[in-house]
Structures are given as structure tokens and as C-alpha cells.
Structure 1
Amino acid sequence: MIKTLASLALLVLFAATSFAADGEVPASIAKWQKDMDKFAKKDQQNPVKPGGVVFVGSSSIRMWDLDKSFPKLNGLNRGFGGSRLEDSVYYADKIILPYKPRTVVVYAGDNDVAAKYTPERIREDFQEFVSTIREELPSTKILYIAVKPSLSRWKMIKEVRETNKLIAQECAKTDNCEFIDIDAPMLGEDGKPRPELFKKDGLHMTDEGYAVWAKEIQPHLQD
């Protein structure tokens, strides 16, 4: 019985190794290729100057009118809705590294929590995100926007806050890496998310919601 289990373990290990060697990409990550192609087309039409500020992450980034929130920043939006932190890691060579930004602002982790990723798993993905950027861009500042408290995902607030706690700890011990806590500013007197900050779906934000974010982020964008 023991030999049989050991043999099965070896087969599983071999299959995993072969999968990685074949260069196959999980469907959950590969599905974003069309978004990457759109970004590449935009870059061809309007080449991006190095040294700017790049915003990456999920739909809260994709739907953000950066020019409205930061009229003098000329920020580059490379968010793709529904994405997780691991997606920004995988596609960093397409949405971050080529631009050689002085600052990267990332909002990802929201969909990860919804997908039942543990806070520890999300922290590991963040560590990989940082190391991926630092390997090629050692002086680039990294700003992580905390996973927001939202009406539609309020039942997950415990996991959200544990994730934020772990990533805040990572930022605290990582040079040139800052954690932006937007939890308290998005809550009302009742301790719940302020309804006016969210659209009807209770997840995506209104202009008021983005105004809260911009106020918290602005001081971190100063060089």
C-alpha cells in the first residue's frame, strides 16, 4: 500500500513537472491574452515614455478615470477586469516592465479573496509580484492599495482584513514599498461600507469612491 501511494505521488510530481516544462498556461491566466493584445496595440499607436506611473490590477483599476483623479500625473492604466494578483505577476513583462515606471500602483486581491484564495496565498503572490518587478526595476516604487471593504462582499471582510494585514507587514519590511489602507475611509458611522461609494452592484465604485482612493493615494505619489 505504501509503495503504491509513493508511486502515485511520483506520477503526480512528474505530471506537474511536465506541465510546467511544456509551458502550458492555466486557462484562468491565458484568458487575458486578448487584453494584452489590446494593450500592445495601444502602445504601438501611442508609445509610452519611461519613468511614469503605471496602475495595474482588476476592474477597480480598469474602470478608473485616472486623468480625472490625477490630472497632472499622466498615469497609465493597465488594469484588466476580473484579474487576480497572480495575473499581474504573469503578465508583468507586458503591462509593467516595458514602461520602466518610477512607480507601480497595484490593486489586486479582491477577486482572489472571492475565489477562496487564502490570505497566505495572496501574500505569496504579492511577494512574487514584488520580486518580479525588482529583478528588472530595483528602484521602482510599489504602492499596494488595500483590498477594499465592499457591500457585495462584506461577508468576506474577515479574510479581506487578514489579507491586508499580511501584505501591510510585507510592505513594512520591503524597501520602497508602501501599503495604502483604504478600509476606514470607505466605512460609515455604522462601521459598514458607505453606499454612496458603490454602484448598484455593491462592488464597483462611483466617482465618490474613487475620490476617496485618490485622496489616500496622492501623498504616496510624491517623489
Structure 2
Amino acid sequence: MLVKLSKKHTKYRSVIVVSSVKKVVFISSIILNVLFIGVFAFYATSSSAMKNPLSSKHSSKQSYSDNPYYIERTTLFKQLSIPKESIVFLGDSITQRSEWSELFHNKQIVNRGVADDTTEGVLHRLKSITDAKPKKIFLMIGINDLNEKKSVRQTKANYAEILERIHKESPDTKVYIQSVLPVNNKKCGDAVDNKDVIALNNYLERLAKKHNDSYIDLYSKVSKNNQLKSNFTVDGLHLKGQGYAIWKQEVQSYVNE
């Protein structure tokens, strides 16, 4: 049996449908706006971090033991071994980002760089390296100590302890202290002052002489007006291929000797 709705009922039903549609549209609009704001905020934060690799870590108090990069990388190293007579490149992300064995066409070279690492972090993982009794260690560390505003006195003390332990735990290993590289402040902000980098490098040069280690000045080779050359970097901290080519050129003879 068909029931014919009156015009009044039909009109009332139409009002309900229209009201429901408006409500759905309104709620959908709110959801889309929230999603848009979230995506925009994520992109802005990510973009800022990419452009300024030091700003996100500025004055950070995060310990190496809480750092995901450090944990991931060091747990990987536990699954690997350092071959006898190997050459170890030890440092932070600037070291980690190079393909050293391919760059030098030398399979004896092992990369032990860890992103965000500091002198304290190197001390904590040093035994796994000295236990292998490598032939050589090329060390570059310290830029993250400066960025995180670590005590200069403590940073120097840590560096001195690193060298003392290497010579004690692996006395036949030759150590090459590579200067800390400058940053390009126009690209990465003012978290690090290159005057502090120079001061640290002066200390490292004296420390190398004290331990009869080789000091390799890379700072002057990649800098102009005490800034990391802009054509060597994208973010003001890490190196492009041209920068690693200069690095290779400066340490080639030490790798080969």
C-alpha cells in the first residue's frame, strides 16, 4: 500500500536532508583543515631542520645513550667486525656520510662514523675499535660538542682521553687527528662560531704533538674567510662530493703510507 506524502511532509523531509548534508560538509571541512595544518607544520619543521642541521640540536642535552642514531649505528657495529690491518675512519655524521673504501679504492677502510656523535660518544664506543687493533685510525670529532654547548674544558679532556686510550689499548695503531671542519653560518645559522672551531683545532694540533700523532689540517683546505666554502656544502655543515674529494686529496698519502 503506497502512502502519498503531503507537500508539508515532503518539505520537512527535504529540510532534514539539507541540514544533514550541511553538517557533514561542515565536519569534513574541519577535518580537512586540521589535516592541512598538521601537514603544513610537519613540512615546515622538516624543511627547517633540513636547511639548518644544527638548529634542531642547538643546546641539546640529549645523551648519546638516548640518541636513536647512536643506538641504531652502534648496535649495527656489534654485528660487524673490524678486520685485521684495517684503516678506521672514526667520527660523526661528516665521517659517516662518505663511502671511504670506494673513495680510496681500498677494502681495508672501515667507516665508523655516527651521526650526532660527540667526544663522549666516541669514548663510550672506543673499546670496540681498539679491541680490533686496527692499523690506522683517522679521527674527526668535536663539531657536535660545540653545537651542544658542551664545556670546552670537558671536550678537550674527552679528546685527550680518546688518544690516551687508543695508545694504551692498541699501541701499534697509528693515529691521525683531522682538524674539525668549519661551518657555513649563512646556511646553518649561528649555533657554532668558527672561532671556537679554530680554538679547538689549535688545541688538537698541540695534543697531536704531545702524543707524536699526525695532525692533518683540513680546515684551511675547505674554508674561505673562515667559513665552509659554499660550493662544498648544501646545509652549511655536511659536505658535498667536492668537499670529500679535497678531504681524500689531503689524507691520501697518510692512507697509503
Q: TM-score, normalized by length of structure 1?
A: 0.78
Cα 1:193/1:33, change in 2 over 3 Å: closer
Alpha-carbon distance, 1:191 to partner? 5.0
> Which consecutive unaligned segments of at least 5 residues does structure 1 have?
1-25
| Residue 156 (structure 1) aligned with residue 189 (structure 2) | no
Match of 1:146 among 179, 190, 201: 179
Alpha-carbon distance, 1:29 to partner? 2.4
Match of 2:117 in 1: 83
| Residue 173 (structure 1) aligned with residue 210 (structure 2) | yes
Match of 1:23 in 2: none
- Of the structure 1 ranges 65-74 and 84-93, higher mean CA displacement relative to structure 2 is found in 65-74
Amino acid across the alignment from 1:166: Y
- 2: CA distance, partners of 1:117 / 1:160: 13
Q: Contact 2:101 / 2:110 at 8 angstroms: preserved in 1?
A: no
Match of 2:82 in 1: 48
Amino acid across the alignment from 2:223: L
- 1: CA distance, partners of 2:175 / 2:121: 17
Match of 1:4 in 2: none
Partner secondary structure for residue 215 of structure 2: strand
Please identify runs of 4+ aligned residues in structure 1 that moved more than 3 A: none
Partner secondary structure for residue 78 of structure 2: helix
Aligned length: 190
- Of the structure 1 ranges 74-83 and 190-199, higher mean CA displacement relative to structure 2 is found in 190-199
Partner secondary structure for residue 76 of structure 1: strand
- 1: CA distance, partners of 2:107 / 2:253: 12
Cα 1:191/1:127, change in 2 over 3 Å: closer
Task: Give CA deviations for 1:38-61 in whole Å, capped at 9, x if unaligned.
Answer: 1122x1xxx432111011110011
- 2: CA distance, partners of 1:153 / 1:169: 29
Q: Which has the larger radius of gyration?
A: 2
- 2: CA distance, partners of 1:192 / 1:97: 34
Q: Contact 1:54 / 1:77 at 8 angstroms: preserved in 2?
A: yes
Give me the CA root mean square deviation. 2.0
Match of 1:195 in 2: 230
Alpha-carbon distance, 1:153 to partner? 5.9
Partner secondary structure for residue 83 of structure 1: coil
Match of 1:213 in 2: 247
Alpha-carbon distance, 1:194 to partner? 1.3
Task: Give CA deviations for 1:172-214 in whole Å, capped at 9, x if unaligned.
Answer: 1212x111111111123x5532111112x11111000111111
- 2: CA distance, partners of 1:105 / 1:113: 20
| Residue 137 (structure 1) aligned with residue 175 (structure 2) | no
Match of 2:75 among 28, 37, 40: 37
Match of 2:139 among 103, 106, 113: 106
Alpha-carbon distance, 1:62 to partner? 0.8
Q: Contact 2:83 / 2:108 at 8 angstroms: preserved in 1?
A: no
Q: Contact 1:52 / 1:103 at 8 angstroms: preserved in 2?
A: yes
Q: Contact 1:119 / 1:162 at 8 angstroms: preserved in 2?
A: no
